[in-house]
């Protein structure tokens, strides 16, 4: 079994949890061949279960996108050399809703993961860990951990800034930001000024709340700066990050690291169309008879989609850039600005695919 299923194929659907996993094996006709409940401390037992089902070449392990809970399981399967395929959670949920058996349990969920492979094989992807090299896996995982924390911190920073805008308006009036009207109001340079101004006011729940938020905002900014330095250090010797930042206009260090963390290896994708589909940039088609309509896809990897969106907005903002010229051309052709932006994102994601493909 290389890229497709055959009559000798054995599919093992696994429902992954924090402490205990459930595996259900089935043949190519969906008939159950066995099941096993196991934990991360009993992975050798799961390997024995897999070997008892037949040859490794005919065995495919199907997992829902496991995030952190299945990392030990995935690493063990990669070490053993088993083929792994990821199943988007939305596909198993759809299968449950469309079935007359809507029971939900670990066994049913594991079966549904396996049956998605049997019925919607082309809508799933090989697990990136099973294709990527050890070096690719390590750098991608490092970026992923750093960027996940950075996203949380950035979200906290935005919340704190919005709260401070409202509270400083109450405390200082409409002119609270005039001193820094030509720059950003909340930066590491401006925070000490506001701390001094607020501290000079009569102590109250309002002033104390503002001061606490200013302290937290500075701490969050310092932590984001620290993470950016770690990303820069990790990316220093990474060839793919270097190529992306050089070849893709508007792709900075953090954006390049974000792309690598989500893709890990572009070898998972047969062509650029499938890569665009994975990123949620390729439109969905809804046609009937002579009517042909394209709609924006709400699916795909939204984190990767956001990275491409950031690059597109940067290119549009630069007069004379190829991205800006392309965007304006699409608008002149009669497309809305939003649809022209989507067209530009498709061109960018194609270039990202080619850049990563030929950089290996």
pLDDT tens-place string over residues 203-214:
999 999 999 999
What is the model's pTM? 0.84
Residues 103 and 164: their CA atoms lie apart, in Å, by 48
Residues 324 and 346: their CA atoms lie apart, in Å, by 14
51 Cβ contact list (under 8 Å, min separation 6): none
Per-residue tokens: 308: 């491409």
pLDDT tens-place string over residues 211-256:
999 999 999 999 999 999 999 999 998 999 999 999 999 999 999 9
86 Cβ contact list (under 8 Å, min separation 6): 62, 63, 64, 65, 66, 124, 125, 126, 127, 128
Q: For strand 59-64 and strand 32-38, is the pairing parallel, antiparallel, or unpaired? A: unpaired
Contact call for residues 74 and 84 (beta carbons, < 8 A): yes
Q: For strand 10-15 and strand 59-64, is the pairing parallel, antiparallel, or unpaired? A: parallel
pLDDT band at 11 (very low <50, low <70, confident <90, very high): very high
Residue 270 has pLDDT above 80, yes or no: yes
Other beta carbons within 10 angstroms of residue 260's beta carbon come to 26
Residues 232 and 345: their CA atoms lie apart, in Å, by 25
Contact call for residues 141 and 133 (beta carbons, < 8 A): no
């Amino acid at each position: 079994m290389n890229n497709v299923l055959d009559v000798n194929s054995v599919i093992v659907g696994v429902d992954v949890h924090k402490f205990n996993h459930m595996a259900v094996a089935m043949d190519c006709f969906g008939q159950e061949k066995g099941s096993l409940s196991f934990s991360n401390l009993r992975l050798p037992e799961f390997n024995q279960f897999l070997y008892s089902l037949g040859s490794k070449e005919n065995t495919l392990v199907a997992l829902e996108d496991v995030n952190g809970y299945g990392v030990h399981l995935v690493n063990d399967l990669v070490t053993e050399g088993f083929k792994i395929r990821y199943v988007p959670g939305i596909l198993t949920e759809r299968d449950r809703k469309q079935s007359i058996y809507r029971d939900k349990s670990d066994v049913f969920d594991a079966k549904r993961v396996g049956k998605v492979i049997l019925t919607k094989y082309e809508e799933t992807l090989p697990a990136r860990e099973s294709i990527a090299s050890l070096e690719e896996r390590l750098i991608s995982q490092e970026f992923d951990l750093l960027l996940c924390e950075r996203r949380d911190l950035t979200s906290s920073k935005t919340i704190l800034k919005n709260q401070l805008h409202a509270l400083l308006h109450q405390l200082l009036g409409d002119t609270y930001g005039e001193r820094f009207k030509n720059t950003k109001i909340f930066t590491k340079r401006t925070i000490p000024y506001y701390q001094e101004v607020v501290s000079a006011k009569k102590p109250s729940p309002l002033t104390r709340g503002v001061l606490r938020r200013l302290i937290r905002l500075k701490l969050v900014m310092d932590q984001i700066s620290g993470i950016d330095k770690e990303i820069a250090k990790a990316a220093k010797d990474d060839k793919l990050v270097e190529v992306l930042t050089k070849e893709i206009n508007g792709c900075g260090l953090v954006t390049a690291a974000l792309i690598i963390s989500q893709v890990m290896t572009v070898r998972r994708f047969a062509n650029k169309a499938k890569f665009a589909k994975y990123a949620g940039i390729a439109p969905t088609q809804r046609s009937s008879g002579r009517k042909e309509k394209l709609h924006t896809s709400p699916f795909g990897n939204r984190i990767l989609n956001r990275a491409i969106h950031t690059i597109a907005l940067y290119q549009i903002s630069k007069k004379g850039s190829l991205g800006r010229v392309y965007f304006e051309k699409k608008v002149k052709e009669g497309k809305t600005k939003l649809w022209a932006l989507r067209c530009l994102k498709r061109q960018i994601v194609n270039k990202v695919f080619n850049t990563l493909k030929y950089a290996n």
